[in-house]
Amino acid sequence: MPEAETTTEVVAPPDPNLISTLSDGTKVKKRKLRQRACNEPLKKKICAGHLKRWYEFPGEVQGMLDVGNEVYRCERCQTLYLPNDEEVPRTGTLAF
C-alpha cells in the first residue's frame, strides 16, 4: 500500500499582548513591563525595532485610550504599543 503523506503545519500561538488590528492593518499591542524594543515576529526573526513615543495617532487609537496615556510605535514595522498597567508613565521631567 502506498504510504500517505503527512504534513505537519506549525501554527504559532496567538499573541497574548495583541489587543486589536486597525482598519489599515496596523497591530495594536500592550507593552510588556519595561519593554523597549518591538517583539513582532517578521518572517523567521523578530522585528526588534526601537519603540518611540508617538504623539499624532489616529482617532481609532484614541478610542482605546484614557486621557493622557502614552502611545509608542515601532520605528521599523509601525506596530503600536499601548502602555502597561503596571508601569508608571514616563511623562514627567527627570529628577536628580
Q: Residue 37's closest CA among 73, 85, 83, 88?
A: 73
Residue 61: predicted pLDDT: 79
pLDDT tens for the chain, 96 residues long, are: 566 666 666 566 778 888 888 888 889 999 999 899 999 998 889 999 999 998 887 777 777 776 667 889 999 999 999 888 888 776 665 555
Q: Enumerate the β-bridge partners of residue 73.
A: 52, 80
Q: Which pLDDT belongs to residue 64?
A: 74
pTM comes to 0.75
Tell me which residue has cell 488590528. Answer: 21
Distance in angstroms (rounded) separating the CA atoms of residues 72 and 55: 8
CB-CB contact of 51 with 35 (8 Å): yes
